[in-house]
Amino acid sequence: MRDFLPADVRRREYVIGVIKEVYERYGFEPLETPAVENIETLMGKYGEEGNQLIFKILKRGEHEKTGEADLALRYDLTVPLARVVAEYRDKLPKFFKRYQIQPVWRADRPARGRFREFYQCDVDILGSRSMLVEAEICAAASDVLTRLGFNDFAVRINHRHALTGVLQAAGVANEKHDLALIALDKLDKIGRSGVEKEFAERGIDAAAGVRLLDFFAALAGLDHAAEVAVGEDVSQKRRALNVAIIGRLVEFVGDNELGARGIDELRSILNFAEAEGIGSRIEIDPSLARGLSYYTGAIMEINVKDLPGSLGGGGRYDNLVGMFLGEAVPACGFSLGLERIIVVMTEREMFPNALLTSPADVMISLWDQTSRADSVALAHELREAALRVDLYPDADKIGKQFKYASAREIPFVAILGDDERARGEVALKDMRSGEQRSVKRESVAEEIRKKL
Amino acid sequence: MRDFLPADVRRREYVIGVIKEVYERYGFEPLETPAVENIETLMGKYGEEGNQLIFKILKRGEHEKTGEADLALRYDLTVPLARVVAEYRDKLPKFFKRYQIQPVWRADRPARGRFREFYQCDVDILGSRSMLVEAEICAAASDVLTRLGFNDFAVRINHRHALTGVLQAAGVANEKHDLALIALDKLDKIGRSGVEKEFAERGIDAAAGVRLLDFFAALAGLDHAAEVAVGEDVSQKRRALNVAIIGRLVEFVGDNELGARGIDELRSILNFAEAEGIGSRIEIDPSLARGLSYYTGAIMEINVKDLPGSLGGGGRYDNLVGMFLGEAVPACGFSLGLERIIVVMTEREMFPNALLTSPADVMISLWDQTSRADSVALAHELREAALRVDLYPDADKIGKQFKYASAREIPFVAILGDDERARGEVALKDMRSGEQRSVKRESVAEEIRKKL
């Protein structure tokens, strides 16, 4: 678990501020739930491994001795959403669009870049099966990243039914689908012959395996064809590729009904994404799997080239949010990887400079005991003018005060010496240039603001 | 523990936003610490009752069976601050001015208005013994309340040494000070004779008790005298009263050195507060005690007339923050009662109206299947123009869509009917007046913004 010192908090709040602003523009509303849930609400919802990673809280008072737990720390934001949906059904709109940015806790073994307390940052739209929802979710997440300064990301999209259709059309037995996908996922690392070997070990029909690998090999070939066709314009190339891939999918799944329906939905999402202005961001990727367990429709993931793993991911999961309600609630959601976004932005130096430096715009120094109250009054005036003002608390030597301001990267120091006070002026030192000059007291705020 | 639905979150974030903005203007920097601390960090820091109210977290994995706890939930923000000061000493400035707004957890019996998860909202200045610090803290807290719209609050200030001086000058034995203050605190409720009886029961010297009660009775008389002297101007009356009370304190403590020093510091704070522009907010209150345990100097509390209890309180506590460092670190802090502020603001209807109503500025309706992509495109255009836009996801009957927007208090609905689309226009319905008219598509954003 981590402490966030001031510079860390500023970076985090900057990112969270952009996320909130963008999500609100898309009509999402904020939700917050308590850190602590009843233990029964969480147990059994995340598999056996999840059960072990949940932090459990002892009963209080005399029951503490029993060693029993009745509460637990929030493990994700989806189960609390499901609880809220069941608990406040009448108070929530039919299409509940919520965002939630809160910490979760997992008793993972601490490792580099992995923390036991970390923030999740989820948006979900409940209540509709329209593919508009998928497009809105992708557009909102893209918009967040664009506004943060990312310009090289792609939104990869696939559909669980399309995936099933492809596997069935290839002839992979239904019960082997998960195993086939795990092996297929290693194609880049172990090559075609490596995957074929794994298929054999996992008991996947050899001919089906070959058909599957041929299909994906042919898709990889489309990349070059698209470049030849439209040239190097990345946006146009992506659009051409998406159309070509959809064509190949239709061809390959043939009369597989589930697959055809999935592909239809992908086509809808693609059309709406174009209207959302993110057509050139989308990559239809028939190999995207995202751990199939609870997704029921489209799945998506956002990646940048130089980062293994994703900046976020999500999809449609129509059978989860209604778990405490006892009925299916259509839902589609996306989770931005806040911690990862911050890591990448720090590495790439994407944070605005002003954010990383100074805790104040100006520091008022303390000249001597007799002028102290006047220094306080100056601080008051400059704060009224909406500046961030620090006030040095002790009448230390002025050199020491300058050094302090300089170490904290405060750009200006104001000094109320006897001469300046007599003339109704303030000596203002620019700590970056070292230049110091007298300024009329009523112009100090303006003078500082001009040079910030 | 509570869920915060969208309207609740908006209210909380509004208040927190004002607090942050004001505190940053005073040069405070944000700090965040994890929800979970090592159990030894917290145990023994809050007395026996505190130990019992701490939520304790079971060891993980195979140790879970032992029923032992090794972690605990944050109980306040002061002990984590002390830990941070010890852990990051070299990274923190000499005068560390931090604010921290985070939840804490206490296993209190749940009761009306009391929650097991609640936010604390602390500012502290570490590293200086200057009375400027007290004045800055009071001014920042006052500024927050003023900006939130409170105009009837008073900042009551006393000093632990002044209090000791008064009790010693009256002749109350040192070991009876706490008991005397507890009895004195009931003066309003049980009257002078009641307090005298309690003094007797607690073994306080009768003559000392009489001197003490005479002193406070005389102070109460000053109130009327000040009104006679300066008239009904509340600010002037407060200032006159403060001067008169300081005079009486000086007189009463006489040559009691500790008391005189405390009164001197009160006078300094009063002078600086005047320079901070909050002179008329201050009430020197020699009876203010605030549970004496860890305060070492000035103590303060902010009250409004119609609320029992306070909106916040704090003081100087020079011996606490250095606890993990093994040396004294001068400190003065103030804690705003966030939950209480929100309750009062809700009761008094002090929240801006815009905050409580709509989740979006406009809802785009869905006319039919063929125009869907165009509705999405319109949403995109209006979001680019920085409006908050909701998009109805299904092509339901238009009456149903209107009803939905109306229930959610969205002020405008845009409709892209066939005629409007053919003319490059949008039908815009003002949900408050019911008026509907056609607007050129490129003017829709401007039209909405004009009427928001």
Q: Note the pLDDT tens digit of each residue in A218-243.
A: 998 888 787 777 777 888 889 999 99
At B145, which helix (H) or strand (E)? helix B131-148
Say what the pLDDT of residue B357 is: 66
CA distance B189 to B167: 21
What are the tokens at B318? 């020079």
Q: Which residues of A touch B86 (CB under 8 A)?
A: none
Q: Which residues of A touch B384 (CB under 8 A)?
A: 277
Contacts of A13 in chain B (CB under 8 A): 30
Q: Would you call B30 and A36 a contact, using CB atoms and an 8 Å cutoff?
A: no
What's the distance, Cα to Cα, between the start and end of chain B in Å? 36
Residue contacts between A and B (CB atoms, under 8 Å): 248
Cβ-Cβ contacts under 8 Å, B276 against chain A: 376-377, 379-380
Which stretches of B249-393 are assigned E, i.e. beta strand? Answer: 282-284, 298-304, 312-316, 331-336, 362-364, 389-391
- Closest Cα in chain B, distance from residue A305 (Å): 27
Alpha-carbon distance values, B211 to A60, B159, B172, B203, B208 (Å): 47, 20, 10, 15, 5
Q: Give Cα B236 distance to the centre of its chain.
A: 27
What's the residue count for chain A? 452
Q: Do B275 and A139 touch (CB under 8 A)?
A: no
The pLDDT score that the predictor gives to residue A247 is 96
Number of helices (H) and strands (E), helices first, in chain A? 17, 16
Nearest CA in chain A to B85: A5
Answer yes or no: is pLDDT of A65 > 90: no
Nearest-by-Cβ selection for A4 from B25, B32, B393: B32
Q: Between chains, do B117 and A386 touch, taking CB under 8 Å as contact? A: no
B256 Cα to chain A: minimum distance (Å)? 26
- For residue B118, the surrounding DSSP H or E stretch is strand B117-126
Task: Considering only the beta carbons, identify the residue of B2, B136, B394 that sits closest to A128.
Answer: B394
Interface contact A33-B277, CB threshold 8 A: no
Tokens for B366? 């869905």
Q: At what angle do helices B160-170 and B234-253 cross, to 10 degrees?
A: 50
Nearest to B377 among A56, A275, A393 (CB): A275
**Rounded (10°) angle between helices A372-384 and A444-451:** 60
Q: What is the pLDDT of residue B235?
A: 86
Query: Given the structure tokens 């990673």, which residue do they identify?
Result: A53
Q: Which residues of B touch A51 (CB under 8 A)?
A: none
**Position A355 pLDDT exceeds 80:** no
Distance CA B206, CA B176 (A): 12
- Per the DSSP assignment, residues forming a β-bridge with A393 are none
Is the Cβ pair B132, A67 closer than 8 Å?
no
- Between the alpha carbon of residue A316 and those of residues A102, A158, A159, A260, B426, the distances in Å are 21, 11, 9, 17, 32
Chain A residues with beta carbon closer than 8 angstroms to that of B392 = 95
Among all chains, which residue has been given the structure tokens 């952009």? A18
Q: Identify all chain B residues contacting A390, using CB atoms and an 8 Å cutoff.
A: 26-27, 97
Query: Which tokens belong to A14?
Result: 């900057």
* B224: closest CA of chain A, how far (Å): 30
- β-sheet bridge partners, residue A438: A427
pLDDT at residue A357, as a whole number: 66
- The closest CB to that of A376, out of B92, B272, B374, belongs to B272
- How near does any CA of chain A get to the CA of B235, in Å? 18
* B338: chain A residues, CB-CB within 8 Å: none
Using CA atoms, how far apart are residues B268 and B278, in angstroms rounded to an integer? 14
* Interacting residues of A398 by C-beta distance below 8 A, sequence separation 6+: A365, A367, A415
Kindly provide the b/e burial profile for residues A193-218, where b requires at least 16 CB atoms within 10 angstroms of the residue's own CB. Answer: eebbebbeeeebbeebbebbbebbee
Q: What angle do CA B348, B349, B353 make, to 5 degrees?
A: 165
Where is average pLDDT lowest: A123-127, A290-294, B46-50, B125-129? A290-294
DSSP three-state, residue B78: helix
Residue-level pLDDT at A292: 62
Model pLDDT, residue B356:
62
Kindly list the structural domains of chain A, giving each domain's residue range(s) and its CATH number in brackets, ordered by start: 1-35+74-152+305-356 (3.30.930.10), 159-283 (3.30.930.10), 358-451 (3.40.50.800)
**Which residue type, as a one-letter code, is found at position B45?**
K
Nearest CA in chain A to B87: A3
For testing contact with chain B, the best of A22, A33, A48, A60 (most B CBs within 10 A) = A60
Q: Closest by alpha carbon to A203, among A166, A181, A182, A173?
A: A173
The vertex-B96 CA angle with B93 and B101, nearest 5°, equals 135
Q: Which of B35, B116, B275 sits opposite A373 (nearest CB)?
A: B275
Taking Cα atoms as reference points, which of A9, A414, A448, A376 lies closest to residue B26?
A376
Residue B355 Cα, gap to closest chain A Cα (Å)? 12
Is the predicted pLDDT of residue A188 greater than 90, yes or no?
no
Query: CB–CB of A389 and B132 under 8 A?
Result: no
Question: Distances from the Cα of B154 to the Cαs of A84, B150, B157, B301, in angstroms?
Answer: 40, 10, 9, 8
Closest CB to A277: pick one of B360, B380, B387.
B380
Question: Three-state SS for A313?
Answer: strand
Contact A55 B60 (CB under 8 A): yes
Return the pLDDT at B148.
97
Q: How far apart are CA B120 and CA B122, in angstroms?
A: 6
Instruction: Count CB atoms within 10 A of the CB of residue A443.
Output: 13
CB B323 within 8 A of CB B82: yes
What percent of chain A shows pLDDT beyond 70? 98
* Chain B neighbors of A36, CB-CB under 8 A: 1, 55, 73, 105, 116-117
Chain B residue whose CA is closest to A67: B67
Residue A293: how many CB atoms within 10 A of its CB? Answer: 9
Q: Which chain A residue's Cα is nearest to B103?
A: A35
Say yes or no for a CB contact (<8 Å) between B272 and A61: no
**What integer is the mean pLDDT of A439-445?**
96
Q: Which residues does chain B have with pLDDT short of 70?
A: 112-113, 292, 354-357
How far apart, in whole angstroms, are the C-alpha atoms of residue B177 and residue B181? 6
Residue range B151-184, pLDDT digits in tens: 999 999 999 999 999 999 999 999 999 999 989 8
Give A389's strand partners: A362
CB–CB of A60 and B61 under 8 A? no
| CB-based contacts of A326, cutoff 8 Å, min separation 6 | none
- Find chain B residues with C-beta within 8 A of A77's C-beta: none
Burial environment of residue A308 by CB neighbours within 10 A (0 to 12, 13 to 18, 19 or more): exposed
d(CA B410, CA A324): 30
